Structure 1
Amino acid sequence: MISSLTRLFSIFPLAGLVLGLASNQGVNTDVLKRFPRVTGIKNPAALEDLEKNITAYTVPANYGSATFNQIRPLYPGAVGIVGNEGAIVSHFSTGYSLKYADANGTELPKKDWVPLTKDSIFDMASLTKLFTAILAMQQLDKGTIALNEKVASYLPGFEAGGKENVTVRMLLTHTAGFDADPDPGLWYGYATVEERRQAILNTPVINTPGKRYLYSDLSFMSTQLLLEQVTSTPLDELLKQGLTGPLNMTSTFFNRGNVEYEANELIAKGTAVTEYQIEVLGDIEPQRRQPVWGTVHDENAWGVDGVSGHAGLYSNAEDLGIFCQMILNNGTYGGTRVLKAETVDLIFTNFNTAFPGNAHSLGFELDQHYWSGPMQSLQTAGHTGFTGTSLAIDRPSNTFFVLLTSRVHPSRSWSSINIARINMGYFVAKALGRDV
């Protein structure tokens, strides 16, 4: 529990150092430690306050615009993890994955509620884009693609629809000129997965490439096609080979085939439930069991068999901690290098200086208050996901923080959780001793 962590920090400030030296003999020293040690945490009590604050949002209240002036929880449950200077300094769970019987928030009998645990698996939604971006950076390291090269030079047919001048960098910074999403939606506008993939390839741009920032799932759907073309490897397999295998991220995967949890050994019952999607949006939605549980919430990702560059990934807090720490380690974890150090620098480089307010590196957002609060800076990289996920990586303080919530259960219109994300950044800043 976090209380025991902070108590050890305050009572025995050198205990972690002694334990760390003893346990690091003969093992890798660039992995996350699972006990307190000497870190940059100056105010451990703030980490207890963080857990209390995130837990408080599971209590029904009128949270103003965050709950659209309705009395309801911000989310039924959440998992958080914070790392600093190579140690996990907070890791907690609160509330429930499954709690409601319908999209209106009618509660199930309490015996049917499913609690979240610290290792619960969540639908990452757009945090998938960060993993796709890392896979693209690995290809930069290998020289199979180049940032300023035209995508069409690698991906035959991509030039259709005014895309002949779109570069790899434009795809990864949302400046390629695409609209936000495919129209019609991939899940209902086409008969087969191959037709849907071809539709992505054929989609025209709506803006001159490089002249406007517009956050676009299509950019990362296209990045998937690019990566699969240059590697001759499906995206989910590329992920296993390049990231989750080498880093032993055993709870991070795509659910290819949209297999329901009972038939999928990777999807446990504790996997976070999402939405009563058909009840919320009607019969145009994918026809599957309700609430959506174990298959990707994003309809377009569902339409391409659950594997897409923009959404579809599953993970948990601990695996995301490994992902973040690898970046803070400049591309290594557990003695394994997955990115060159100079390539990691690109994660903290703003390529969108022409678009004030939309600072962006390759896949990662930079300098955004809505998911990092007072930790916001151009050296703080992160992202959010529609299902209620977010992560932030603060390079100057060697810190990361991850918040995973079940905010779309029972409905996507239930709440906005940015106040919780901002507060997480606030309490992390307090823990680091900042005057906020």
Structure 2
Amino acid sequence: MSASRLRPQQLDRAFAVVREGIERGEAGPSVMAVADGREIIRQEAISPPDGDVQVDLDAIFLTASITKPFIGTAIMQLAEQGRLLISDPVTRYVPEFGRFGKEAVTIWHLLTHTSGLAEEVWESLWEEEAPASAHLEAACNAFLHFPPGTQWEYCNVSFWVLAEIITRVSGKSYVDYLYHHILEPLEMRDTAFDFEGEQARRMVPVDIVQPILKGKEGAAYFRSLALPAGGLYSTAADLVKFGQAILNGLLGREHTIVSQAGIATMTRLHTEGIRERNTGRLAFYGLGWDKPGGDARFLGTPAAFGHGGATATLLWIEPNHDLVFVFLTNQFGQENRVACMALNAVLGAL
């Protein structure tokens, strides 16, 4: 069944899942939206009854790693323009990245988290409140923990390198590139790395569940980084616009920001047969997009794709059901279990 045939009341259970999760303390104030390729079928803002933070539908949340598909989309646009190949070595565009034996790393490796770079490279920089340039420099000076393409390890620092490629190839900063080539064309006016004025007042403060970043993700330092791995703030309605553009482009309904061929390439499984470095489990990842794994955490079909974030957020697209799902909340370090259960309840209503 297509999501376009859903009636709002058929989603009662899915929204009840969110309320129950908030009551258990597994989610903070949240906005959830369910849409098809044309319109939002239902969206609600749900807050803890006695909580200090109450949100409306236009609340602006830190999306965290939902930022990664935006970077992946920008890279794909440049590939469609004939300005780079996904298979190109990174050193073609960022020569200094080749230090210490990284010459074989390609753009594909960065997008799929199979480069051999390790997350430790990135984490130590937060203690020092290092500037953005130091994050890129750390990636260039890093050693590989495994040969490129042989294992999978989730790595945020890779996206600093991808952002630098966008900047050098396009001639614009990656922040400006995202604005002019993705956010502005889709009229995503409530999406940015930082805000001022009225929009700043709508930004939902981040609740630290696990102090991985010691509170800095809510501070001016974090926002000043314009973190390409996870710094975008957005509303549920804006993320629906992005999801609809990707969904409709994939289904051949319209070509807005990426071609059908480009979206199909980004969102298919690229890591077949590659195992996670730390767990030995098979990895399920596209080009900047997550894929449903073998543990049945997500119901649905192998065609689905999306991305979660460290603030327990989730953007998920199920093309076989014409579905765009968005869940935003503010709990940094909390598992996005509530989002996954709510998504499964939506799929269960189809």
Query: Which residue number corresponds to residue 230 of structure 1?
Result: 169
Does 1:75 find its partner at 2:27?
yes
Match of 2:5 among 29, 40, 50: 40
Partner in structure 2 of residue 404 of structure 1: 328
Counterpart position of 1:88 = 40
Point out which structure has higher relative CO (alpha carbons under 8 A, 6+ apart): 2
Contact kept? 1:326, 1:333, Cα under 8 Å: no
Percent of matched pairs sharing the same residue? 23
Aligned residues: 343
Which one of the candidate residues 295, 299, 310 is aligned to 1:374? 299
Structure 2: where are the runs of 5+ without partners?
276-281
Corresponding residue of 1:14: none
Matches within 5 A, 1:166-315: 166-182=105-121, 185-189=124-128, 192-255=131-194, 264-265=196-197, 267-275=199-207, 280=211, 285=214, 293=218, 295=220, 302=222, 305-315=224-234
Which 5+ residue runs of structure 1 have no aligned equivalent? 1-36, 61-72, 100-112, 256-260, 297-301
Over 6 Å off, 4+ runs: 331-336, 369-372
CA distance in 2, matches of 1:224, 1:135: 9
Provide the alpha-carbon RMSD of the alignment: 3.0
TM-score normalised to the size of structure 1?
Answer: 0.72
Distance apart, 1:76 and its partner CA: 2.7
Q: In 2 relative to 1, CA 344–98 (structure 1 residues): closer, same or farther, beyond 3 Å?
A: farther
Aligned mates of 1:201, 1:266 — CA distance in 2: 39
CA offset at residue 371 of structure 1? 9.4
Q: Displacement of 1:386 after TM fit?
A: 0.3
Provide the rounded CA distance (Å) in 1 between the counterparts of 2:225 and 2:318.
31
* Structure-2 change in CA distance of 1:189 and 1:293 (3 Å): closer
Query: How far, CA to CA, are the matches of 1:353 and 1:389 in structure 2?
Result: 25
TM-score normalized by structure 2? 0.88
Q: Indicate which of 99, 119, 138 corresponds to 1:160.
A: 99
Q: Deviations over 1:324-368 (max 9, x none)?
A: 000111169997621111101113311111226312111111123
In structure 1, the residue matched to 2:310 is: 386
State yes or no: 1:116 paired with 2:86.
no
| 2:248 corresponds to | 329
Aligned residue in 2 for 1:57 = 21
| Separation (CA, whole Å) in 2 of partners of 1:97 and 1:345 | 42
Cα gap change, 1:334/1:320 in structure 2, threshold over 3 Å: closer, same or farther? farther
Q: Which structure: larger Rg?
A: 1
The 1:425–1:280 alpha-carbon spacing in structure 2 relative to 1, beyond 3 Å, is closer
Q: What are the Cα deviations for residues 208-256 of structure 1, in whole angstroms up to 9, with x where unaligned? A: 111111111122121111111212211110111110111110011112x
Assess if the C-alpha contact under 8 Å between 1:228 and 1:235 holds in 2. Answer: yes
Of 319, 344, 347, the match for 2:238 = 319
Q: Which amino acid aligns with 1:339?
A: V
Distance change >3 Å, CA 192–CA 361, structure 1 → 2: closer
